[in-house]
A and B are shown apart, each in its own frame.
Chain A
Amino acid sequence: MNELLQQILNGLAIGSVYTLVALGLTVVFGILGIAHFAHGSLAMFGGYLTFVFSTSMGLSFFASIALAMPVGAVMGMLIERLAYRPVRDAPHINAFIIALGLTMMLEGGNLLLFGADQVIIQTPYQQVFDFGGIFVAQLRMVVIVTAVTLVAVVTLLLLKTKTGKSVRAVAQNRHAAVLMGVNVNFVSSVVFAISSALGVAAGALIGALLALAPGVGESFAVKGFAVLILGGLGSLPGAILGGLVLGVSESLAAGFLSSAYKDVISFLIMILVLLVMPQGLMGKK
């Protein structure tokens, strides 16, 4: 029983990171219809940036993230304006291929700027708490809390603000939104800004809990899409539930089935969901 609880707890921390990544993906996909595969590599950039801020400027972990997030938002808006907007009216596949190209560019840029060795962001949250045989690392709790907070903030933004209303209007029906006077370009920029800011935060959390290295961004992007599919493309609650489910099931699969085939299991889940229940756990048909 102890082991089961421990595995579930382990999985929740990684699951909340998946949720954060998936959230950044789902706002772009659900609202703009773009499969923004480069999100993972942008998240890595954000993580590396956080590392640079915390080491060279001596800022605290959260201050560094706070500084990196606006930078990420600006980068996201630039990417939208320069790379995605020109193909907005082209077939969707073009945008996906642009996303692949952007991934390569960002990975290459990260490699040039930050090197090939793994980078770990040091944090002051190094304690470990023992709850009768179940060990919880303080850092993992910090990660979960941070992710939950950011998700709540974004949800509030989208539900309660005027900008949020415009964004949701575009998501429902772009043409109608235009007719109602919504500035679609503005909405596109806002969506990418939100997505990229979330991505930067996710990258920083990955950098603190795990490590930033070449290739990590891509694998998180793929896991992010797995969460989207699991939860339902374009669904916010789906991304939240899907992320936690993926994180915990990976942990349980590795712990009780096979650690060698851990990633295979998560991909198989994804393929299965896509084929049997393409709308996901919480998506609309």
Chain B
Amino acid sequence: MKLKTPLTLAALLISAALTPAVHASEEVLVLGVNDALTGGGAVYGLPQANAVQMAADEINAAGGIKAGSITYKLKVITSDDKANPTEATNSVRKLIDRDNVKYLVGFCCSGSTSAVASFIAKEDAVMLVGNAAERAITAQGIPNVFRTRPPADFTGAAAGTFVAQKGARNVAVIGALEVGFYTQYVDAFEKELNKVGGKIIAKEAFGLRDRDMTPQLTKIRGLKPDAILVVGYVEPAAFVYRQAVELGINVPRYGFTSGSEEQFLKVVTSGQMEGVWDLRPTELTIEALGAQAKAYDANYRKKFGQSPTPSSPYAYDQVYVLKNAIERAGSAKDAKKVAEAVRTLPIPKEAVMKYMANDGSAMFDQNGQAYTSNGAFQWQKGKWVFVAELPSDNKAYSQFLRSIRK
């Protein structure tokens, strides 16, 4: 019939117009890594930057982030803040204003991170903090700041309980005590030790650049402690362990330093390290974590030719937090919506670190703080061995952190 063709055509055209676009559009999502890539903080910052790159590559290879109808492929821009507060503000300003970054990750070092946290609330951005351990960063209730690494005193309290259980009653502390979060660790530790009638008999200090701690150790030796607690960065701390042996100190050595076997063996022999404890967040410990951690370790080695540092997964997990939050929020365009999604996000299955769930099985608590479990590690025959979990209460700590908000 002559009338059928135009009708059919019309029907075809109308149905074509009504069918929604089947293919999703693809966009580039820029991820800004702000970290110490040079200078003293680079030992923490560079591995974090590497971890972010690795996560981004994995996500892109698996098809990208699917938010609504848009698939995002990640592009990583790194910016060096040299662990310096002024540089950090310049660096983040550049990322936000010149590179149009909304999602900031990395943040290994406390001083520079605090400087950024002081203005980030007014920015259209989400900031995920990694290794920086200064408590104040998540104690201020900034709605777009989140941290994957637990504050130092959360671990300190657990460590104090553990060491008290081991029977120590006169502990000598030697540490980087000019650094706020190390002092917070020691204070929390001391509180727990005091509960069983123990006390800290000395608090000696060393700086980031110091390598000769024999004066402090000689003094400590004279006070006859029944245990030593070493808190500080791995590079000087390794010297403390070595020099303690060289001075004939043979009481148990407990520490809060983090640091891979490679980093220690540069300075101190395995024999001298034998029996040293590290009481810290479980971080990257293959046997304590699981398949995810094994894969992370293997992939990192393959990609970068060296083993990943124990704290590098804090940054790796940040990227997966963002991925899952953006997918939940349905879009990456509104940083505020993504921040809200992060707030209620359950722990991502791709996460390498072992996190403790908060209220409503959320990864982050009301302060934007995530809590990894704490573990007691001991150096046994050349390797850090996971011995036990430290008794930790994240719900109680979360309340405490909320209570100190000004």
A and B in contact, CB less than 8 Å:
yes
Residues on A with beta carbons closer than 8 Å to the beta carbon of B177? 260
CA distance A238 to B221 in the complex (A): 34
Q: Could you list 26 examples of A-B contacts with CB < 8 Å?
A: A3-B219, A6-B221, A7-B218, A10-B218, A11-B215, A14-B212, A111-B38, A116-B40, A117-B235, A120-B266, A128-B248, A135-B246, A135-B248, A137-B246, A213-B235, A215-B40, A216-B211, A251-B214, A252-B215, A255-B216, A259-B215, A259-B216, A260-B177, A260-B178, A260-B205, A263-B207
Known: A126-B269, A135-B247, A259-B204. A214 touches B219 (CB 8 A): no
Residues on B with beta carbons closer than 8 Å to the beta carbon of A7? 215, 218
Instruction: Tell me whether B206 is interfacial, beta carbon within 8 Å.
Output: yes
Instruction: Tell me whether A62 is interfacial, beta carbon within 8 Å.
Output: no
Residues on A with beta carbons closer than 8 Å to the beta carbon of B235? 117-118, 211, 213
- Using CB atoms, name the residue of chain A closest to B262: A117
Instruction: Tell me whether B267 is interfacial, beta carbon within 8 Å.
Output: yes
- Using CB atoms, name the residue of chain A closest to B245: A128
Interface centre among B204, B210, B211, by most A CB within 10 Å? B211
Instruction: Tell me whether A186 is interfacial, beta carbon within 8 Å.
Output: no
Residues on A with beta carbons closer than 8 Å to the beta carbon of B166? none
Residues on A with beta carbons closer than 8 Å to the beta carbon of B43? 116-117
Chain A, 216-273, CB within 8 A of any chain B CB: 216, 219, 250-256, 258-260, 262-263
From B38, B207, B218, B267, give the contact of A255 (CB < 8 A).
B218
* Pair B246/A259 contact, Cβ less than 8 Å: no
* Pair A219/B245 contact, Cβ less than 8 Å: no
* Pair B215/A10 contact, Cβ less than 8 Å: yes
* Pair B246/A128 contact, Cβ less than 8 Å: yes
Instruction: Tell me whether B290 is interfacial, beta carbon within 8 Å.
Output: no
Known: A210-B212, A213-B235. A130 touches B219 (CB 8 A): no
Chain B, 195-219, CB within 8 A of any chain A CB: 204-207, 209-212, 214-216, 218-219
Q: Mark B30-56, 1 if CB is under 8 A from A, else 0.
A: 000000001110110000000000000
Instruction: Tell me whether B181 is interfacial, beta carbon within 8 Å.
Output: no
- Number of A-B residue pairs with CB-CB distance less than 8 Å in the complex they form: 85
The 8 closest A-B pairs by CB, nearest first: A254-B215, A210-B211, A260-B205, A255-B215, A10-B214, A3-B222, A259-B216, A116-B42
CA distance A253 to B205 in the complex (A): 13
Instruction: Tell me whether B154 is interfacial, beta carbon within 8 Å.
Output: no
CA distance A209 to B215 in the complex (A): 15
Least Cβ distance of A144 to chain B in Å? 14
Instruction: Tell me whether B254 is interfacial, beta carbon within 8 Å.
Output: no
Interface centre among B38, B215, B216, by most A CB within 10 Å? B215
* Pair B219/A255 contact, Cβ less than 8 Å: yes
Least Cβ distance of A108 to chain B in Å? 10
Chain B, 324-365, CB within 8 A of any chain A CB: none
Instruction: Tell me whether B316 is interfacial, beta carbon within 8 Å.
Output: no
From A119, A126, A214, A259, give the contact of B39 (CB < 8 A).
A214
CA distance A137 to B272 in the complex (A): 13
Least Cβ distance of A112 to chain B in Å? 10
* Pair A250/B215 contact, Cβ less than 8 Å: yes
CA distance A69 to B205 in the complex (A): 35
Residues on A with beta carbons closer than 8 Å to the beta carbon of B206? 259
Given A10-B214, A260-B178, 9 additional A-B pairs, CB 8 A: A3-B222, A7-B215, A117-B263, A128-B246, A128-B248, A215-B40, A252-B215, A255-B218, A259-B216
Chain B, 221-252, CB within 8 A of any chain A CB: 221-222, 235, 239, 245-248
CA distance A204 to B326 in the complex (A): 53
Least Cβ distance of A204 to chain B in Å? 15
Least Cβ distance of B382 to chain A in Å? 16
- Using CB atoms, name the residue of chain A closest to B209: A215
Residues on B with beta carbons closer than 8 Å to the beta carbon of A252? 215
CA distance A115 to B222 in the complex (A): 38
Q: Mark B245-283, 1 if CB is under 8 A from A, else 0.
A: 111100000000000000100110100000000000000
